[in-house]
């Protein structure tokens, strides 16, 4: 039986985000965010569900931190709700909102859990959306002001501050497909939003570093997928290449190389001269930490119906799927190697590279004895962690892995139906139960590895 071990000092953790777990949507001075508005609109979310209460983490954070500690997990990635800290998105600071994150960080540190704080996980203050949202350049400046306020309060204790979680999803799902808040479907707005999200990263990084009380690593977390053509035809290969440009290169290149491939598309060419101001690209190219969120690959075929990319995602028969996506562990190896070889190896000071999300929705339930036997998630974990380990063996300096998610929670437009947690949550009583996968993961963390057999 071969046992694999991760390098010494490898960071193990779990991840979550504010809107998906906190609840308390209008408590202690919090202002509304775009997800509050979106969920309250009929027909947007499965079963009309909302994050109003979510899993009540705002009131139960001590219990939740105790659970993380009980599983001996050394790191926790959480996000801060901008509209809790600044109800209007700019201007007045809500001390009670900041106090919550202060208490959360103290509780984590008390239990020797390293906090990784993310400033933005899809939840723009509604007041800023009312002024145009991410397609407006001023939102990037507002974000930098907010980043400074958080940094002034938390940087004496938080050593890694992440500006954005999945800016590509913020732009594409929020402004292109409209599946996410604010529910807009406009390719021009999407391109603008994408640039301002990246710019806001650069401006925030500057603000954080200038205000930090102690050295802090500033990073970003990206959703990256390998894109595979459905067939070997030139049309499908070109379609996959275009999708790769939009999905992966248009984010990686500005952040790591200071260039952008958006001019490869007519709309990008048309917009970029007015959108990208002198100095923007230099500001964007700044990273101490790069997180990769990996869930699946994308299989693409030529389809002229789709604007911009003329490519569509397909789901070939015979592959393995979860409630949301294809399960394809090898893709994690592929994307890590690509990020390492094509980008990080080429930059003079490579940022720290970690997997910051990876997980699977499984329709878990409590068995008669109160246990959750989620074997499918254990298999998923084993197979994906093996690919992380392989990437490390092949030279990619991957320094950590955070599982998504710690607890079952609100899965955006899909509501509470998709359970991603290592911890089962009864959404009526809010009782938390560590699943079998949670125990398996805790054991792997304690051992810094696991036996390959049984995968």
What's the angle, vertex CA 408, arms to CA 403 and CA 413, rounded to 5? Answer: 100
**Binding residues with ligand IFM: total (CB under 6 A):** 7
What's the angle, vertex CA 196, arms to CA 350 and CA 211, rounded to 5? Answer: 60
Determine, following the binding rule CB under 6 A, whether residue 17 of this chain makes contact with ligand IFM. Answer: yes
Determine, following the binding rule CB under 6 A, whether residue 166 of this chain makes contact with ligand IFM. Answer: yes
152/159 Cα distance (integer angstroms)? 12
> Would you say 15 or 385 has its CB closer to ligand IFM?
15
455/453 Cα distance (integer angstroms)? 6
> Would you say 17 or 298 has its CB closer to ligand IFM?
17
Question: Would you mind telling me the total number of residues written for the chain in this entry?
Answer: 455
Residues 333-372 interacting with ligand IFM (rule: CB under 6 A):
357
> Would you say 276 or 327 has its CB closer to ligand IFM?
327
Least distance (Å) between residue 411 CB and ligand IFM: 5
> Would you say 129 or 293 has its CB closer to ligand IFM?
293
Determine, following the binding rule CB under 6 A, whether residue 22 of this chain makes contact with ligand IFM. Answer: no
Class of residue 387 by CB neighbours under 10 A (exposed 0-12, middle 13-18, buried 19+) = buried
Residues 260-319 interacting with ligand IFM (rule: CB under 6 A):
293
Least distance (Å) between residue 17 CB and ligand IFM: 5
Query: 107 catalytic, yes or no?
Result: no
For the chain, the helix, strand and coil percentages under 3-state DSSP, each to the nearest 5: 45, 15, 40
Residues 402-441 interacting with ligand IFM (rule: CB under 6 A):
404, 411
Query: 357 catalytic, yes or no?
Result: yes
Determine, following the binding rule CB under 6 A, whether residue 90 of this chain makes contact with ligand IFM. Answer: no
Work out the number of other CB atoms within 10 angstroms of the CB of residue 335.
Answer: 24
166/205 Cα distance (integer angstroms)? 16
Work out the number of other CB atoms within 10 angstroms of the CB of residue 443.
Answer: 12
| Cα distances (angstroms) measured from residue 447 to each of 11, 114, 354, 384 | 13, 19, 19, 17
Determine, following the binding rule CB under 6 A, whether residue 322 of this chain makes contact with ligand IFM. Answer: no
Least distance (Å) between residue 390 CB and ligand IFM: 23
Q: For the chain, how big is the Rg over CA atoms in Å?
A: 21
Per annotation, catalytic residue among 166, 326, 334, 411: 166
Annotated active-site positions, please? 166, 357
Q: Which residues bind ligand IFM (CB under 6 A)?
A: 17, 20, 166, 293, 357, 404, 411
């Amino acid at each position: 039986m071969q046992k694999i071990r991760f390098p010494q000092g490898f960071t193990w953790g779990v991840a979550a985000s504010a809107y998906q777990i906190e609840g308390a949507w209008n408590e202690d001075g919090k202002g509304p965010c775009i997800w509050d508005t979106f969920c309250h609109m009929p027909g947007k979310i499965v079963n009309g569900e909302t994050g109003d209460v979510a899993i009540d983490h705002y009131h139960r954070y001590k219990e939740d931190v105790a659970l993380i500690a009980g599983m001996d997990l050394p790191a926790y990635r959480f996000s801060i709700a901008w509209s809790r800290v600044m109800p209007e998105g700019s201007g007045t600071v809500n001390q009670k909102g900041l106090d919550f994150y202060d208490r959360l960080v103290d509780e984590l540190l008390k239990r020797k859990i390293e906090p990784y704080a993310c400033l933005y996980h899809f939840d723009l203050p509604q007041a800023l959306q009312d002024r145009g949202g991410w397609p407006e350049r001023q939102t990037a400046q507002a974000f930098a002001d907010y980043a400074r306020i958080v940094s002034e309060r938390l940087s004496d204790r938080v050593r890694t501050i992440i500006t954005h979680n999945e800016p590509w999803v913020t732009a594409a799902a929020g402004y292109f497909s409209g599946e996410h808040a604010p529910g807009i479907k406009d390719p021009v707005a999407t391109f603008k939003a994408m640039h301002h999200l990246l710019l806001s990263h650069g401006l925030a990084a500057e603000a954080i570093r200038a205000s930090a009380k102690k050295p802090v690593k500033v990073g970003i977390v990206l959703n990256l997928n390998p894109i595979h053509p459905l067939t070997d035809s030139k049309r499908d290969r070109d379609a996959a290449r275009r999708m790769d440009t939009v999905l992966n290169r248009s984010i990686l290149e500005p952040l790591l190389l200071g260039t952008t491939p958006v001019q490869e598309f007519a709309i990008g060419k048309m917009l970029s001269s007015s959108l990208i101001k002198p100095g923007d690209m230099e500001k964007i190219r700044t990273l101490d930490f790069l997180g990769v969120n990996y869930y699946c690959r994308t299989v693409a075929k030529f389809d002229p119906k789709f604007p911009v990319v003329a490519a569509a995602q397909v789901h070939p028969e015979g592959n393995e799927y979860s409630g949301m996506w294809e399960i394809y562990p090898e893709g994690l190896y592929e994307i890590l190697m690509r990020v390492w070889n094509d980008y990080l190896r080429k930059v003079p000071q490579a940022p720290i590279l970690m997997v910051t999300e990876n997980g699977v929705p499984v329709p878990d339930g409590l068995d008669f004895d109160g246990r959750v036997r989620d074997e499918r998630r254990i298999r998923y974990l084993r197979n994906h962690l093996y690919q992380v380990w392989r990437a490390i063996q092949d030279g990619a300096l991957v320094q950590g892995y955070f599982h998504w998610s710690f607890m079952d929670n609100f899965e955006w437009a899909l509501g509470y139906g998709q359970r991603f947690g290592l911890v089962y949550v009864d959404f009526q009583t809010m009782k938390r139960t560590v699943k079998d996968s949670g125990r398996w993961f805790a054991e792997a963390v304690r051992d810094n590895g696991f036996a390959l057999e049984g995968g």
